[in-house]
Amino acid sequence: MKSKLWKLLAIFAVLGLVAVGCGDDDDSASSSASESSSSESSSSEASSSSSEASSSEAAEEECELARGVTEDKILFGSSQPMTGNLAALGEQAVLAMEVTRDRINEGGGINGRMIEFIVQDDAYNPEKTVANAQYFIEQENVFAIWASIGSATLKAALPLHDESNTPSLFPWAQDLSFYDVNNHPLFFSVNPPAYAQTKGFGNYLVENFGTDGIKVGLMTINSVDGEQTVQGYKDSSGGDLLVDEQTWERDSTTYGPQILSFIDSGVTDVYVGTGDTQFAQFLLEADQLGLDARFWGSTGTISANTIELAGDLSEGAYGVNVISSATGDKPGLNAYREAMFAAGAEEAQISTASLLAYTGGLVLEEMLTRAGECLTVESFVAAGESIKDFDTGGIMRPLNFSAENHLGNNDVIILQVQNGAWEELVVGQE
């Protein structure tokens, strides 16, 4: 009996130990599972947090702002003829740029960035323009070159702009080669080539004055731009009426020799491709020397300055332009004049030069706005190419750009001085 009892007690003891052992295993498994679950949860949270951080960092890395762009400003450079024969045009353009800058900055900037620009004098000298471009790009690290004046000067500097991925924006420059998007993908303009302007002049001349007894003389700057100006006229319906071609140099102080040649040639119509100060001087010298003809001025001659300097001699003179008269009565023109006068402009500075710079500034503001906060050269160009039917308030007809066309305006406008003011005769002359 004792033996059986001890055996029973021994069995119970073993069973108790097994029960305890089993209970310990269950608790351990439960604890292990809990720890594993917690570990997996922590790992998942860490992974999610890490993923979000990586995404944020990637987004930041993807937006590498262009040269000349910071969180609070965009820096531009502008090469202008602030001295020399075309100094008046440079001063007019710079004042319009200041008006644009102040309008944008006083409105809070674009995407929080203020506009700043640096002006360097080139005296309408290509070598100085190249030196200015190097300074802007290599030392000042500008985003773009804005509103410069002169075809010959820009033609010298444009290769440097392109090589350094620097946009060339809304210059008063008209060389036909500039508009080739494949060769100059960063060039944007609202100023049609000089070729188109003189072609329009020749067609208008024949349409309105016929061909009988008409003899035409051209005076253009001695440059590629001047050559294209002549070619545009030769390709017009009045091309056969050309009897005298004269050129002028950027440092010319008189146009007497050219005028005497026109008198000898018996010209009835003279096209003068100069700035406004030079055109006024030409009219004064033509009167003194006895040249009796109709006078036609290029884009640069159409300003209040011409009328002020030439006085009554400007009455009846014609102008061939790419933009409405700066003194016209249209919403955009009224806003332009109001802004210019508020900035201290004189009447003589209400001109094609300042109006072109002002209009380019309107498009520039739109491009920067569309490009968004991540401003790169690529986003900026894409923004420009997306602009369609852009309204300038009548300064120009609606502007259109595309990947194949960075010239937003193709108009040629014929004007005449009537009662002391430039008046539009035809808009859209072919």
Specify whether 204 is located in the same domain as 314.
Answer: yes
**Strand order, beta sheet including 318-321:** 242-248, 216-221, 269-272, 294-297, 318-321, 413-418, 421-427
305 Cβ neighbours under 8 A, 6+ residues apart: 88, 276, 277, 280, 348, 349, 351
- Separation CA 79–CA 154 (nearest Å): 9
Shared domain check, 299 and 250: yes
User: What is the 8-class DSSP label of residue 135?
Assistant: I
66: tokens are: 């262009």
Those residues with Cβ within 8 angstroms of residue 289's Cβ, 6 or more apart along the chain or in another chain: 256, 259, 260, 263
200 and 187 in a single domain? The answer is: no
- Indicate the residue among 292, 321, 350 that finishes a domain: 321
- Whether residue 386 sits in one domain with residue 375: yes
Do 182 and 90 belong together in one domain? Answer: yes
Decide if 50 is inside a domain.
no
Domain end, chosen from 304, 321, 338, is at 321
Residue-range definition of the domain harbouring residue 261: 195-321
- Do 84 and 152 reside in the same domain of the chain? yes
Strand partners, 248: 221
Is 99 within the bounds of a domain? yes
Strands (E), 90-241: 114-121, 144-146, 168-169, 187-188, 216-221
pLDDT tens by residue, 347-384: 989 999 999 999 999 999 999 999 999 999 999 999 99
Kindly state whether residue 230 falls inside one of the protein's structural domains: yes
| Confidence (pLDDT) at 357 | 97
Angle ∠(259,262,263) on CA atoms, nearest 5: 90
Domain annotation covers residue 12: no
Residues 182 and 78 both lie in one domain? yes
Q: Tell me: do 275 and 249 sit in the same domain.
A: yes
Domain closes at, from 290, 321, 352: 321
Domain count along the chain:
2
Do residues 315 and 56 make contact, with C-beta atoms less than 8 angstroms apart? no
Whether 13 is covered by a domain: the verdict is no
Domain for residue 98, yes or no? yes
- Same domain assignment for residues 310 and 203: yes
Low-confidence ranges of the chain (pLDDT < 50): 1-56, 59
Let me know whether 285 and 312 are in one domain: yes
- Give domain status of residue 312, yes or no: yes
pLDDT value, residue 285: 98
Residue 23 within a domain = no
Shared domain check, 251 and 200: yes
Q: The domain that contains 337 carries what CATH number? A: 3.40.50.2300
- Please tell me the pTM assigned to this model: 0.81
Sort 180 into a burial class: Cβ within 10 Å, 0-12 / 13-18 / 19+.
exposed
Among 337, 318, 320, 319, CA closest to 328: 337
Looking at the structure, tell me whether residues 212 and 312 fall in a common domain.
yes
Residues 6 or more apart whose CB falls under 8 angstroms from that of 64 comprise 376
Residue 11: its pLDDT value, please? Answer: 38
